[in-house]
Amino acid sequence: MKHLFATLPLFLFAILAQSQVTNESLQGLKLNDANRAIIKDGYTLSNGWHIQPGDTLYLGKGTLSNKAFASIYQSKTSFAAMGGTLNDKMNGQNSLKPGQATRVIVKRLQVIGSKRGGYTAIAVVGAGMIGYNYWVELDNAVESGEVKTPAQYASSKQTETDKPITSAADELKKYKELLDSGAISKEEYEAAKKKLLGN
């Protein structure tokens, strides 16, 4: 009994010492600090779902017009993704295609973006026949239904429909991140912006 009371404070301290890395807690950090935090502690979505390396993500339906996944795409450093044009990116040419995978395993977590523009939590997963690395934009993929939320974390809104809603603002944000990372040129960004805003 003495051992129980002696170890209880240590156990409670260990639980309280674990920090939850969320989208809000990443903002304002330097990129290296944000990456260290997500690698060390995993990532917790706004619905409370905690994701870490080794977890299995079950895929829903792609949200692009060709049924490909808007928030699951080949990493910018993948051999297969290099050299694509903005048109390829807009049409989901580097996105995970329907039928390529029904579930993926998280290899690692990382953060992309900038302190000024904000960060996006990424799960790096292997998918497809050859096992290329794909990036899963966790918040966007879960919100759009491209990654299925486990029942204990699903809100009634998520379970009501499989049809995700993506706004022009969300798409514009993705293109801004591509611009900031150097994956597209300023001209490609402006063309996409013009197309999305209907100017």
Instruction: Give tens-digit pLDDT for 161-182.
Output: 444 556 777 888 888 888 888 8
- For the chain, give the longest Cα–Cα distance: 73
Question: What pTM value is reported for the model?
Answer: 0.61
67-97 pLDDT, tens digit per residue, is 888 998 887 655 444 445 444 444 446 788 8
